[in-house]
Copies of this chain bind each other. A is one copy, B any other.
Amino acid sequence: MAKSLENRFDAVEISEAERYLDAVPPSDIDPRVERLVNQLIGRVADKWTMLILELLEERGTMRFTQIGRAVDGISQKMLTQTLRQMERDGLLTRTVHPVVPPRVDYALTPLGNSLSAAFCGVWVWAERNLDMVEAARARFDARG
């Protein structure tokens, strides 16, 4: 990981006032858990993962090319890559049918379904607050 800001001022002399201002209550989260959670969220919160998650939740089992067509803008490379990751994480199953032409079905696992449900709140928030964010951006950009 990067050299954090942690040590940038550790060695410098600071006044009592500064010490007070910078004092922070200790985090009440287990650092080990926090690290793992961050890693996990970083993975699942990726753009394509979320879109595929929602897609499969909505439509059920789908084939490779179907997903590719449904997810706007995704390249076949990222599609393959994202599906592999999701399979590895246990979010979906990959079923190869031994026929020609090949047919591969993808479907969410219960774990995938539960993650989709957990993300639901974020989707709802986004839909509900789109205008708020747009307005905030406009105001911000209107200033310098």
Contact = CB atoms under 8 A, between A and B. Distances in A.
Interface of A is mostly: helix
Given A38-B51, A40-B130, A73-B1, A136 B59 contact: no
A44 to B, nearest CB: 8
Given A21-B63, A103-B21, A111-B129, A121 B119 contact: yes
Copies of this chain present in the complex amount to 2
Given A51-B38, A111-B136, A130-B40, A24 B70 contact: yes
Contact of A65 (B5, B121, B137): B5
Interface of A: 1-6, 8-9, 21-22, 24-25, 27-28, 31, 33-38, 40-42, 44-47, 50-51, 58-59, 62-63, 65-66, 68-76, 79, 87-90, 103, 111, 114-115, 117-127, 129-130, 132-133, 135-137, 139-141
